[in-house]
Amino acid sequence: MTPDFTLHDLYAICSNSPRTSALVRSIHGADAAWGLNEHLLATVADYQAILIWQKTKDGQKNRNRPKPIERPGVKVSEKTTGTAMSIEDADKWLRANGVGLE
Q: Which of these ranges, 37-51, 58-72, 78-92, has the smallest mean pLDDT? A: 78-92
- DSSP one-letter string for 21-63: SHHHHHHH-GGGG--HHHHHHHHHHHHHHHHHHHTSHHHHTT-
pTM, 2 dp: 0.55
Bridge partner list, 5: 2
Q: What is the pLDDT of residues 29-60, one digit of tens each?
A: 877 778 888 889 999 999 999 999 999 999 98
Residue ranges of the domains in the chain? Answer: 1-33, 34-74
Q: What is the pLDDT of residues 3-15, one digit of tens each?
A: 889 999 888 988 8
Confidence of residue 101 (pLDDT cuts 50, 70, 90): low
